[in-house]
Amino acid sequence: MSSPDFMASVFEDARTHRFFTDQPVPDDLLKTLYETMKFAPSASNTCPMRVLFVTSDDARAKLLEAVGDGNKPKVASAPAVAVIAHDMEFYKHLGTLAPHLDPESFAAQDEAKLKMQASNNTWLQGGYFILAARALGLDCGPMSGFNPAKVNELFFEGSSWRASFLLSLGYGSGENIRDRAPRLSFDEACRIV
């Protein structure tokens, strides 16, 4: 059963926020966000998405080194930035998450195929992450204008995590929100066969 108010809050009325108020996002809310979105689907429940929450001034300064000039003010304004990453060794958790799968068959795959599986499923889970954040009352600003290799070097060196996209989180200030852009109609974007 859907609620029109809920649907509007996560779809029609929700906007991409570029700037945020100074109100902090409590760690408990970030934990609730993850605990809510962890039920998002992924192929065979492989769950490759990982999240690094950047909330401290030191970590934010480090992250800004890897962010494109146009996104620096957005990252600086957000009380929290989620680095949405994919785990290239997601298969190490299959004994718990998907015991019907053979972890060794994933480990033996070439890196390009493994990356495609991890990345594609992380993008899927990332969409649910945004919906969960909105449902919890947070505003979001997804970004791809950054240097993933630099983020990996700064935050994930020596690990199997790889940056996919950035998501600023907080309480939007309403500053510089663009008018809603058009979307394609059903007939333009869909086919029923």
- 179, pLDDT greater than 90: no
Cα 16 to Cα 141: distance, rounded to the nearest angstrom: 5
Residue 8 placed within a domain: no
Residue 71 placed within a domain: yes
| pLDDT tens-place string over residues 44-55 | 999 999 999 999
Residue 75 placed within a domain: yes
Where in the sequence is the domain holding 47, given as residue range(s)?
A: 17-174
Residue 36 placed within a domain: yes
| pLDDT tens-place string over residues 117-168 | 999 999 999 999 999 999 999 999 999 999 999 999 999 999 999 999 999 9
Residue 110 placed within a domain: yes
Cα 16 to Cα 98: distance, rounded to the nearest angstrom: 34
Residue 55 placed within a domain: yes
Domains in the chain: how many in total?
Answer: 1
CA nearest 137: which of 25, 1, 62? 25
Sheet with strand 161-170: strands edge to edge: 49-54, 80-87, 161-170, 139-143
Looking at residue 8, what is its pLDDT? 85
DSSP 46: -
Buried b (16+ CB within 10 A) or exposed e, 104-136: eebeeeeeeebeebbbebbebbbebbbbbbbee
Looking at residue 5, what is its pLDDT? 85
Residue 65 placed within a domain: yes
CATH value at residue 114: 3.40.109.10
Residue 181 placed within a domain: no
